[in-house]
Amino acid sequence: GAGVSQSPSNKVTEKGKDVELRCDPISGHTALYWYRQRLGQGLEFLIYFQGNSAPDKSGLPSDRFSAERTGESVSTLTIQRTQQEDSAVYLCASSLQGLSSYNEQFFGPGTRLTVL
Amino acid sequence: GDSVTQMEGPVTLSEEAFLTINCTYTATGYPSLFWYVQYPGEGLQLLLKATKADDKGSNKGFEATYRKETTSFHLEKGSVQVSDSAVYFCALSGSNYQLIWGAGTKLIIKP
């Protein structure tokens, strides 16, 4: 089946605008993850969903960031009042289940966000 | 807390050279260890993994052995190709669901 898809692939916005990033996980995957990857750096965990609930939101960098997931499927990551430091690639991943140390995560291609 | 340290890149090699990308980790308990690869213009994909000490993960000619005594998981390949040019990430998965990532190592293979 299809892999994890994300949209848009690129987003350029002005400082202060809100943006919404979308992730479609692999069908049947109950766990979904959002990461941020700044240029030349590793992945920074943002939030994890198990089904529709988010047991851990501790990685969200500020209250301008929020995420939701509906129907154990699509997830949206919303950034309000964007700042230049929000510029990064936002990656989504899904896995069959969370809460497992043998957890292979499948990644989408990412959304490159540029805040001017 | 848990952490992963990788050798800084870029690493530039000639085709057919031997490759080592170092990865060391700090973790409580017994994490699983992973190497992910990101080819140009593509998403991250799992390259190989090892779930317990002394396990060897292998795929596409790449190997890495889980060394608990040295807390290392170095990636090796005997003869690299131009198509191996990519960014390689070492990661660990501990007692919870999170993957802890290294900063990535860019590999450039010249023909």
Instruction: Tell me the pLDDT of chain A (116 aa) as tens digits.
Output: 579 999 999 999 999 999 999 999 999 898 899 999 988 777 888 998 988 888 778 889 999 999 999 877 999 999 999 999 999 999 999 988 765 556 678 899 999 999 99
C-beta atoms of B43 and A100 within 8 A: no
Place of tokens 């809100």: A18
Length reported for chain A: 116
Tokens of B8: 């800084």
In this complex, which of A41, A102, A107 lies closest to B44 when CB atoms are compared?
A: A107
Which of A5, A94, A107 to mutate: most B Cβ within 10 Å? Answer: A107
Residue B96: is its pLDDT beyond 70?
A: no
Phi-psi region of A98 (alpha: psi -120 to 50; beta: other; left: phi over 0): beta
User: What is the reported pLDDT for B97?
Assistant: 63
Chain B residues near residue A42 by CB distance under 8 angstroms: 4, 89, 101-104
| Residue of chain B minimizing CA distance to A105 | B46
Provide the β-strand partners of residue A23.
A6, A75
> Nearest-CA distance from B97 to chain A in Å?
5
Quick check: A66 and A60 in contact, CB under 8 A?
Answer: yes
Identify all chain A residues contacting B40, using CB atoms and an 8 Å cutoff: none
Radius of gyration of chain B (CA): 13
Residue (of A108, A97, A94, A92) closest to A35 by Cα position: A92
Question: How many other C-beta atoms can be found within 10 angstroms of the C-beta atom of residue A9?
Answer: 11
